Amino acid sequence: MIKQLIPRMTEICGPDGVVSDLAELRTYECDGLTSHRVTPALAVLPRTAEQVAAVVRECAAAKVPFVARGSGTGLSGGALPHADGVLIVTSRMRRIIAVDPDSQRAIVEPGVTNLSVSEAARPFGYFYAPDPSSQVVCSVGGNVAENSGGAHCLKYGFTGHHVTGLELVTPAGELTWVGDGTGAGPGYDLLGLLTGSEGTLGIVTKIVVKLTRIPQLVKCLLAAFETTGAGGAAVSAIIGAGILPAAIEMMDALAIEAAEAAVACRYPEGAGAVLIVELDGPETDVLRDCVAVRALCEQAGATEIREADDPAERAAIWVGRRSAFAAVGRISPAYIVQDGVVPRTALGPVLDKIAELSAASGIRVANVFHAGDGNLHPLVLYDDSSAEATAAAETLSGAILDLCIEHGGSITGEHGVGVDKSRYLPKMFGADDLDTMQLARCAFDPVSLCNPGKIFPTPRLCGEVPGARRGPHPLVASGQLDQF
């Protein structure tokens, strides 16, 4: 069936833009979440928005599902291919169209990597604020799909706060601009709806992003504590003092141990937890906040505090944190990363409970997290050669999400629902909530061809909406008015 599309797809994307060889297709079988794998029936690598639109039109006409993929670094299986569908890979759409420091905007194609936007803006004194830890490789298009955050979103917000215009290929294959780049145009806030919709409402082909002024001074503090509880108390004290750092990150003993083994980050020896606090802004304010944060950490029982303000020293502090996931990968055959969120004030009890669950099940859990906004990344360590160990790790992982929901939090802070967490979504939202979200889906994609099977556990058919439609306005009916 899908093979019939190959000639037309080749016409659209060129012979080097269509992948139909099974071995080659396998390279796209998963994204950053490797536990889910599906080989797509076909992959295309368009170079232009018009090509994406033409591909989608072909799919829509043939009723073939399609899935967009950026750099494939997602951690929820959002870009998991459809076995009978077309995978639309945006990696060849890598133009930075403009960097406009005078309007604090850049226009990029979806395959452009996150970090390269900041690099292009740096000579003008600006950067692109959302900074997922995969920013060297992850794509801006993927960031839009997932509403990506990062360590610094505590102060600067998420992708959704920085997108002011999108060129979109609708699931019907129409090319349209949503938003005019101002961030203040008329009409529904479709930008807000599209950002974070995990590729289920269309495929973005251009993105207008806000650029942020590079701060005058950046200071980074590393504070060691005996326990995560003490570190958590320091976090509460900092926020309670009205200080808004750019980032507050925490790692527990096991994560520190793994990072030390992997990258020799030389965090204080024997620490039960380390806190990384980054402060940025006007010099006077940063210096004052820095003194305050030091004092608050000391009061919370910090055993050692280091301070860095030049980029190399800061990088030395961050290296342990940035390498944490990979480092844990070296001390365990496999691990599950969770992305649950709890209110910051619930961090202490939730971490205690995770420790209890870990002890009771005998499964090691390393904690690396965005402490400032309560976004946990517990790494559940297990041996994937054992089916029993795998099941136990999944059970523990699910219990951690339950814990987050119990405390009024969320099952995902930045990784997205994708295929991985759709079964947990009904624990956060009722049937009416999910049905209402589906209405938006039906408005964009009534036939459910655009990244089907993601986010929602039980997609409702479109067109089942109750309620009679009122007839058109008499003036519209009589042709005197267009739509009024």
Partner 1 sequence: MLADPVLRALTAACPGSRPASPGDAVAGGTPRFAASPASVAEASAVLRAAAEHDLAVVPRGSGSKLGWGVPPRWCDLVVDTLRLDQVLEHAAGDLVARVQAGVSLHRLAEVLGGAGQELALDPAPGLGAPDGVVPTRAGVDGAGVDGARPDGTGGGPGAHLDGGTVGGTLATGAAGPRRLRYGTPRDLVIGITVIRADGTVAHSGGKVVKNVAGYDLGKLFAGSFGTLGLIVEAVFRLHPRPATAAYVTIECADATEAHRAVAAASASVLAPSAIEIDRPARDQPITVGVLLEGEPAGVGERAALMGELLGAGARAQPSQPAWWGWPGSDPAGPAGTLVRVAFWAAALLRVFAVIDGAARSVGLDPAVGGSAAAGVIYVAAGPGAHPAAVAAFVSALRAALARGEADARPAPAAVKGEWSGTGRWAGGGVPPVLASAVVVHAPPAVRDQVDLWGPVPALPLMRAVKDQFDPGHRMAPGRFAGGI
Q: Which of residues 356-415 bind partner 1 (CB under 8 A)?
A: 370, 373-375, 408-415
Site for partner 1 contains 313 (CB under 8 A): no
Distance CA 317, CA 313 (A): 7
The window from 63-71, 247-255, 313-321, 435-443 that contacts partner 1 (CB under 8 A) reads 435-443
Distance CA 145, CA 159 (A): 9
The window from 3-11, 127-135, 328-336, 421-429 that contacts partner 1 (CB under 8 A) reads 421-429
Query: Using the rule CB under 8 A, which residue among 6, 61, 98, 477 binds partner 1?
Result: 98
Residue type, 209: V
* Ramachandran category for residue 3: left, alpha or beta (phi over 0 → left; psi -120 to 50 → alpha): alpha
Query: Using the rule CB under 8 A, which residue among 35, 343, 457, 480 binds partner 1?
Result: 343
Shortest reach from residue 188's CB to partner 1, in Å: 5
Shortest reach from residue 38's CB to partner 1, in Å: 22
Residues between 19 and 38 that touch partner 1 (CB under 8 A): none
Q: How many residues does the chain have?
A: 484
Query: Using the rule CB under 8 A, which residue among 14, 268, 272, 281 binds partner 1?
Result: 281
Shortest reach from residue 220's CB to partner 1, in Å: 18
Shortest reach from residue 264's CB to partner 1, in Å: 31
Shortest reach from residue 128's CB to partner 1, in Å: 14
Query: Using the rule CB under 8 A, which residue among 440, 447, 452, 459 binds partner 1?
Result: 440
Query: Using the rule CB under 8 A, which residue among 262, 368, 396, 455 binds partner 1?
Result: 455
Shortest reach from residue 324's CB to partner 1, in Å: 18
Phi, psi torsion values for 116, nearest 5 degrees: -70, -20
Residue type, 380: V
Residues between 128 and 167 that touch partner 1 (CB under 8 A): 146-147, 149, 153, 157-158, 160-161, 165, 167
Those residues whose C-beta lies under 8 Å from the C-beta of residue 58, and which sit 6 or more positions away, are 5, 8, 9, 12, 64, 173
Site for partner 1 contains 299 (CB under 8 A): no
Q: The tokens of 425 are what?
A: 């979504």
Site for partner 1 contains 96 (CB under 8 A): yes
Those residues whose C-beta lies under 8 Å from the C-beta of residue 16, and which sit 6 or more positions away, are 45
Distance CA 84, CA 348 (A): 46
Shortest reach from residue 129's CB to partner 1, in Å: 12
Shortest reach from residue 391's CB to partner 1, in Å: 24
Distance CA 483, CA 317 (A): 59
Lay out the site mask for partner 1 across 103-122 (x = CB under 8 A, - = otherwise): xxx-x------------x--
Q: Which is nearer to partner 1, 216 or 458 (CB)?
A: 216
Q: Which is nearer to partner 1, 70 or 160 (CB)?
A: 160
Report helix angle 311-322 to 324-331, nearest 10: 40
Query: Using the rule CB under 8 A, which residue among 67, 168, 203, 368 binds partner 1?
Result: 168
Query: Using the rule CB under 8 A, which residue among 265, 434, 449, 450 binds partner 1?
Result: 434
Residues between 170 and 199 that touch partner 1 (CB under 8 A): 170, 176-193, 195-197
Gyration radius (Cα) of the chain, Å: 24
Query: If you search the block for the tokens 């799909």, which residue do you land on?
Result: 145
Q: Strand runs (DSSP E) across 185-316, as ranges?
A: 203-210, 212-213, 217-225, 247-252, 273-281, 304-308
- According to DSSP, the residues that pair with 222 across neighbouring strands are 276, 306
Site for partner 1 contains 480 (CB under 8 A): no
Shortest reach from residue 93's CB to partner 1, in Å: 11
Shortest reach from residue 443's CB to partner 1, in Å: 4
Q: The tokens of 49 are what?
A: 């928005």
Distance CA 438, CA 462 (A): 8
Site for partner 1 contains 425 (CB under 8 A): yes
Three-state secondary structure call for residue 107: strand
Those residues whose C-beta lies under 8 Å from the C-beta of residue 69, and which sit 6 or more positions away, are 28, 31, 79, 81, 87, 88, 89, 90, 142
**Residues touching partner 1, count (CB under 8 A):** 112
The window from 219-227, 252-260, 293-301, 434-442 that contacts partner 1 (CB under 8 A) reads 434-442
Query: Using the rule CB under 8 A, which residue among 47, 152, 322, 344 binds partner 1?
Result: 344
Q: Which is nearer to partner 1, 65 or 179 (CB)?
A: 179
Query: If you search the block for the tokens 């950002």, which residue do you land on?
Result: 195
Query: Using the rule CB under 8 A, which residue among 28, 128, 267, 444 binds partner 1?
Result: 444
Shortest reach from residue 311's CB to partner 1, in Å: 16
- According to DSSP, the residues that pair with 212 across neighbouring strands are 127
Closest CA to 57 of 190, 200, 203, 207: 203
Residues between 196 and 255 that touch partner 1 (CB under 8 A): 196-197, 206, 208, 213-216, 236, 239-240, 242-244
Those residues whose C-beta lies under 8 Å from the C-beta of residue 436, and which sit 6 or more positions away, are none
Distance CA 106, CA 255 (A): 37
Those residues whose C-beta lies under 8 Å from the C-beta of residue 399, and which sit 6 or more positions away, are 357
CB 147 within 8 A of CB 158: yes
Query: What is the β-pairing status of strands 96-100 and 273-281?
Result: unpaired
